[in-house]
């Protein structure tokens, strides 16, 4: 079993393409087959190296490793020219000298008559070369009969050959066209299963005729439906991120996106969470739904939280690094990222948020948030802050259990609720009124920084009291 993902590098790797890649990957692994990556970069004007890189990076980030490739179509032009010549020699293709104007005129006439526009076959039975005109090469599509194939997702599809015209396979400059290069490659690469978006379903009968002309075995085909936005329209930028790398940059874990994508059009009972091993074991392209599926960001967020909590903290921490860099926070200047993940995973939706909300554990802050200080660093808080400070100074170990004990015993001694101590402490430690539970906040801020910051808060409170007279 051999399958391939064959993106055109004309933009970022969007979630539709990523899901196709995932389905190819899973099916190959499920059947113990080979997964091949082929970059279809023959459209020289629209293909860019940045886009190739985005595809490679996106696949790597998602963990979709391939067994062969990446192959580049632009490196195979000689091979395409050879096959074009072979088809010409066998009279399965022919030169066509019809001008653009003529083709355009036929097209208009057919449209007016309510017909599907197609080449009328003028050069099919031998055309006189026209001076100064470089011909295109057209594939001689069979006359009459039908093309039938059993799509693994869509079921049986039947198309009459009369609906298919003689496709251009090489342009006047000799460059090959899409439907032709795909077939040559799929034959040369011995692809046995073609999985792709159903926007290609109309190409398949044409391609099948080319397979037959080449005397090649047909692969199986599976055309997967497109992904819609939550409003039912075709998924686009307007619905938020659509590029895989944008999801990475927005703070999603690849495990979350992969788990999310596999459920777009495929299911196994009502199970929502799938490990990669389970996906490989359970996935079958034949079970993919033929109806389009809608993207749902809330569900993706839910999965992201799940994986932030459930994956080993060290693994999550690896992904978190990128966001520390993006937020320009020096991870070496504070608690190990694993410790941070253990505390913050429950509190945020994304790794980006996690980084942004953890700055105080890694850097000193200039000033207390004004509103928070006004509310929580009032003169009455001097005593609780001093009490906690004294106890913390005497601690021999800085762990969550001990820290919790300190705050509790201070509250008990002063006979105040925990909040009366925790909120001033929180502002003292982070500059804001929002942070993880106070024991964990102390733990993450660390001993030296905590003591220093509480002393600073005490001074702040004393100055405030003095100002009030
Ligand atoms: N290169 C085509 C695309 O990106 C896919 C072709 C195929 O999978 O057959 O849409």
For the annotated catalytic residues, the residue numbers are: 237
Q: What is the pTM of this model?
A: 0.93
- Rounded to an integer, the average pLDDT of 301-315 is 98
CB burial of 434-462 (b: ≥16 within 10 Å; e: otherwise) equals ebbbbbbbbbbbeeebbbebbeebbebbe
Domain range 1-71+225-311, its CATH number among 3.40.50.10440, 3.30.300.30, 3.40.50.620, 2.60.40.680: 3.40.50.620
pLDDT at 230: 82
Ligand 1: centre distance to CA 287 (Å)? 21
Ligand 1: centre distance to CA 354 (Å)? 37
364-468 is classed CATH 1.10.10.350: yes
Say yes or no: CB of residue 9 within 6 Å of ligand 1.
Answer: no
pLDDT digits (tens, 9 = 90+) for 249-272: 999 999 999 999 999 999 999 999
* Ligand 1 atom index nearest CA of 199: 10
Mean pLDDT, the chain, rounded, equals: 95
Look-up of token digits 């190296």:
49
Ligand 1: centre distance to CA 233 (Å)? 22
pLDDT at 239: 78
Say yes or no: CB of residue 219 within 6 Å of ligand 1.
Answer: no
pLDDT at 231: 84
Report how many helices (DSSP H) and strands (DSSP E) the chain contains, helices first. 19, 12
Ligand 1: centre distance to CA 175 (Å)? 18
* Ligand 1 atom index nearest CA of 5: 8
Of the pLDDT bands very low, low, confident and very high (cuts 50, 70, 90), residue 242 is confident
pLDDT digits (tens, 9 = 90+) for 86-105: 999 999 999 999 999 999 99
pLDDT at 195: 98
**Residue 53: count of CB within 10 angstroms of its CB:** 12
* Ligand 1 atom index nearest CA of 17: 4
Say yes or no: CB of residue 268 within 6 Å of ligand 1.
Answer: no
Neighbour-count burial of 145, counting CB atoms closer than 10 A to its CB (0-12 exposed, 13-18 middle, 19+ buried): exposed
* Ligand 1 atom index nearest CA of 186: 9
Ligand 1: centre distance to CA 174 (Å)? 21
CA distance 279 to 283: 5
pLDDT digits (tens, 9 = 90+) for 54-83: 999 999 999 999 999 999 999 999 999 999
CA angle 78, 71, 63 (to 5 degrees): 175
pLDDT at 300: 96
Say yes or no: CB of residue 200 within 6 Å of ligand 1.
Answer: yes
Question: Is pLDDT at 432 greater than 90 in this prediction?
Answer: yes
pLDDT at 201: 96
Question: Is pLDDT at 389 greater than 80 in this prediction?
Answer: yes
Ligand 1: centre distance to CA 196 (Å)? 7
Report the percent of the chain where pLDDT is more than 90: 91
Say yes or no: CB of residue 437 within 6 Å of ligand 1.
Answer: no
Q: Give domain limits for the chain.
A: 1-71+225-311, 313-362, 364-468
Say yes or no: CB of residue 40 within 6 Å of ligand 1.
Answer: yes
Say yes or no: CB of residue 8 within 6 Å of ligand 1.
Answer: yes
Report the percent of the chain where pLDDT is more than 70: 100
pLDDT digits (tens, 9 = 90+) for 128-187: 888 889 999 999 999 999 999 999 999 999 999 999 999 999 999 999 999 999 999 999
Tokens coding 312? 């080993």
Say yes or no: CB of residue 196 within 6 Å of ligand 1.
Answer: yes
- Rounded to an integer, the average pLDDT of 419-442 is 97
pLDDT at 411: 95
pLDDT digits (tens, 9 = 90+) for 406-426: 999 999 999 999 999 999 999
Higher pLDDT among residues 234 and 276, named by residue = 276
Interacting residues of 57 by C-beta distance below 8 A, sequence separation 6+: 245
pLDDT digits (tens, 9 = 90+) for 103-143: 999 999 999 999 888 899 999 998 888 888 999 999 999 99
């Amino acid at each position: 079993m051999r399958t391939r993902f064959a993106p055109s590098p004309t933009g970022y790797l969007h979630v539709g393409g990523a899901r196709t890649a995932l389905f190819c990957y899973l099916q190959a692994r499920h059947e113990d087959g080979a997964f091949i990556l082929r970059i279809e970069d023959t459209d020289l004007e629209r293909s860019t190296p940045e886009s190739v890189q985005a595809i490679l990076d996106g696949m790597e980030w998602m963990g979709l490793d391939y067994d062969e490739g990446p192959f580049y179509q632009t490196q195979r032009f000689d091979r395409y020219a050879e096959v074009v010549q072979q088809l010409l020699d066998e009279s399965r293709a022919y030169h066509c000298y019809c001008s653009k104007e003529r083709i355009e005129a036929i097209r208009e006439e057919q449209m007016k008559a309510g017909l599907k526009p197609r080449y009328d076959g003028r050069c099919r039975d031998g055309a006189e070369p026209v001076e100064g005109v470089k011909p295109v090469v057209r594939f001689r599509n069979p006359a009459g009969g039908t093309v039938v194939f059993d799509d693994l997702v869509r079921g049986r599809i039947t198309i009459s050959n009369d609906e298919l015209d003689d496709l251009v396979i090489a342009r006047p400059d000799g460059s090959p066209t899409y439907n032709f290069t795909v077939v040559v490659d799929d034959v040369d690469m011995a692809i046995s299963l073609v999985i792709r978006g159903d926007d290609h379903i109309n190409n398949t009968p044409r391609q099948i005729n080319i397979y037959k002309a080449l005397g090649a075995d047909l692969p199986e085909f599976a055309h997967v439906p497109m992904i819609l936005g939550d409003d039912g329209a075709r998924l686009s930028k307007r619905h938020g991120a659509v590029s895989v790398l944008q999801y990475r940059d927005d703070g999603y874990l690849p495990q979350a996106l992969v788990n999310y994508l596999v459920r777009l059009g495929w299911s196994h009972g009502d199970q929502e969470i799938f490990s990669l091993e389970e996906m490989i074991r359970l996935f079958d392209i034949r079970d993919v739904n033929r109806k389009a599926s809608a993207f749902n960001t809330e569900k993706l967020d839910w999965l992201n939280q799940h994986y932030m909590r459930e994956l080993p903290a060290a693994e999550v921490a690896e992904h978190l690094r990128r966001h520390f860099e993006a937020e320009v926070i020096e991870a070496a200047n504070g608690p190990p990222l694993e410790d941070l993940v253990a505390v913050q995973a429950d509190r945020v939706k994304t790794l980006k948020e996690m980084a942004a909300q953890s700055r105080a554990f890694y850097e000193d802050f200039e000033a207390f948030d004004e509103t928070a200080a006004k509310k929580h660093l009032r003169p009455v808080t001097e005593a609780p802050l001093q009490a906690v400070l004294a106890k913390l100074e005497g601690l021999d170990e800085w762990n969550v259990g001990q820290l919790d004990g300190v705050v509790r015993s201070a509250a008990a001694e002063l006979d105040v609720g925990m909040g009366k101590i925790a909120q001033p402490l929180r502002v003292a430690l982070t500059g804001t009124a929002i942070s993880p539970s106070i024991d964990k906040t102390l733990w993450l801020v660390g001993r030296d920084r905590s003591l220093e910051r509480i002393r600073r808060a005490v001074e702040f409170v004393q100055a405030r009291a003095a100002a009030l007279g």
